[in-house]
Amino acid sequence: MSRSDIVEALIRHQGTLYSEEMGANIGRDTPQELFHWLVGSIMLSARIDASHAVSSARALREAGLHKIDAILDAPEKRLIEVLTEGGYTRYREVTTGYLKDTAAWAKERCDGDLRGLRDEADGADAILNALQGAKGLGPTGAEIFAREAQLVWDAFHPRADGPALDAAKERDLPQDAGALADLAGARERFVRLLAALTRAAIDGPRDAVTAAT
């Protein structure tokens, strides 16, 4: 199989964006969708199973608790209940505090619109540093956010790191973001390729991906 065949199999069978699975449509580049993805990135960066982070972020949305004011107004007990329903049990109390603090930070720091951080920062590294003002979002979480936010934020594109590059190496794909982007052929395909490679690294490759490799 060619590299193009491997890329196509990855995108087709494991290319669902993590933000998409949570219910966030970051392709819209709107404050609400970006904030939900920020919340999801905080949860994905914790030391729990990624599937529990995703299901809990989705549960927050289904409960209407993915918005800044809704999080600020919700009793902590209610947030803990929703996180528990999503399987996010290990750090639910700490994460509830993170959500409250992050919502307050986003409202005060950029009036709830993360695009303001992007527009005032000088380059990708400055944006990553600014995002880490969110409680519970360290360097790893900021990179998780950037991985999918590059779908609409030019400053982050092309960007690849972490498990995605490890999975690319295993499949004899480039470990350079620009080369991977060229191979994918379009920005959305590139972001989906990164999601697929990350999933392959964390969850293992689907049979079709293994066959293409």
Q: What is the pLDDT of residue 99?
A: 96
Between the alpha carbon of residue 187 and those of residues 159, 181, 200, 210, the distances in Å are 11, 7, 20, 24
* 52-62 residue pLDDT tens: 999 999 999 99
Alpha carbon distance 2, 145 (integer Å) = 30
Tell me the two tokens of residue 9.
């199999």
Q: What is the pLDDT of residue 42?
A: 95
Amino acid at the residue 166: D
* 127-159 residue pLDDT tens: 999 999 999 999 999 999 999 999 999 999 999
Dihedral in degrees, nearest 10, Cα atoms 114, 194, 18, 29: 30
* 112-128 residue pLDDT tens: 999 999 999 999 999 99
pLDDT reading at 106 higher than 90 = yes
Share of the chain above pLDDT 70, in %: 100
Exposed, middle or buried: residue 105 (CB in 10 Å: 0-12, 13-18, 19+)?
middle
pLDDT reading at 90 higher than 80 = no
Alpha carbon distance 138, 28 (integer Å) = 25
Alpha carbon distance 166, 82 (integer Å) = 34
Residue 90 gets which letter from DSSP?
Answer: T
pTM of the model: 0.95
Neighbours of 209 (CB within 10 A): 23
Q: What is the pLDDT of residue 1?
A: 73
Q: List domains and CATH numbers for the chain.
A: 3-16+159-212 (no CATH), 19-148 (1.10.340.30)
